[in-house]
Amino acid sequence: MINKKIFLSVVIPAYNEEENFKKGVLKNIDPFLKRQNLQYEIIIVNDGSTDKTSKLIEDLIKNKTNWGLINLQHQGKAATIIAGFKKSKGDLILFTDFDQATPISEVNKLMAKVNKNHDLAIGSREIKGSKRQKEPFYRHLMGKCFNLIVQSLIVKGIYDTQCGFKLFTKKAIKKIIPSLVVYKNKKVSDAYTGALDVEILFLAKKFKLKIAEVPVVWTHIKTTRVNPIKDSLRMFFDVVNVRIADLFGKYNE
């Protein structure tokens, strides 16, 4: 990592990303950030991948002083993201998916909002100005149904909680992460992505942090990891558990 004060940390969770890696999905990150004239670090958090992901990343970041790799035992995407947040040194922290469904260049839109006194800015595929590309209709419908549940139960006024492209101030991360309940120590044995985003946004609203929902470009990347029915049910129960935790005052402790 670089020794100068870091302005932006980029956290990228990774789990069995060999195929994505071969597509060169990370190739634009470093060149883009270098052009922004800011100090940055890129932290890839490997969630116990069983393919060649770890070796490929090690080869990629060799001799790159502002890249880092954290190797974890498999715990699930939520625990992986949280581990990356905790290691981040930047004043701003971006979480972005490994597949770069939302390209790194969209971060400037989010930074513009944070620079206008927002505590976090989240990429959205649903609001005016956004672009969804190559997405199957059923996946879009599932997302809309999930958002209706989320809005009715715990997080009103946000139209896309699940886009994997979110920017936080360090202050927001330090306030939110220690207050997690459902995802505080949640570990899974498969590739389940979960509803960490929902609990984070719920807490952001509870703490009256300023949230900007920002339209972004997003391209659907085909994957076999998502089980539409099974994962939707698990995410629904996680959302319900956030609501239950709030009703029992768990977030006030």
pTM of the model: 0.94
Distance from C-alpha of 40 to C-alpha of 107, rounded to nearest angstrom: 13
What pLDDT score does 166 carry?
98
What pLDDT score does 2 carry?
43
Tens digits of pLDDT across the chain (253 residues): 445 789 999 999 999 999 999 899 999 999 999 999 999 999 999 999 999 999 999 999 998 999 999 999 999 999 999 999 999 999 999 999 999 999 999 999 999 999 999 999 999 999 999 999 998 898 899 899 999 999 999 999 999 999 999 999 999 999 999 999 999 999 988 888 889 999 999 999 999 999 999 999 999 988 767 677 788 899 999 999 999 999 999 998 6
What pLDDT score does 229 carry?
79
> What secondary structure, in 3-state letters, does the chain show?
CCCCCCCEEEEEEECCCHHHHHCCCCCCHHHHHHHCCCCEEEEEEEECCCCCHHHHHHHHHCCCCCEEEEEECCCCHHHHHHHHHHHCCCCEEEEECCCCCCCHHHHHHHHHHHCCCCCEEEEECCCCCCEEECCCHHHHHHHHHHHHHHHHHCCCCCCCCCCCEEEEEHHHHHHHHHHCCCCCCCCCCCCCCCCHHHHHHHHHHHCCCCEEEEECEEECCCCCCCCHHHHHHHHHHHHHHHHHHHHCCHHHC
Angle at 48 between CA 52 and CA 57, to 5 degrees: 40
User: Per CATH, which fold does 8-252 belong to?
Assistant: Spore Coat Polysaccharide Biosynthesis Protein SpsA; Chain A (3.90.550)
**Can you name the residues that pair with 67 across neighbouring β-strands?**
42
What pLDDT score does 1 carry?
43
Q: Where exactly are the structural domains of the chain?
A: 8-252
What pLDDT score does 161 carry?
96
What lies within 8 Å, CB to CB, of 12 at 6+ separation is 26, 42, 43, 44, 45, 84, 96, 97, 98
For helices 196-206 and 77-87, what crossing angle results, to 10°?
50
What percent of the chain clears pLDDT 90, i.e. is strictly above it?
84
| Ramachandran angles phi, psi of 169, nearest 5° | -80, 155
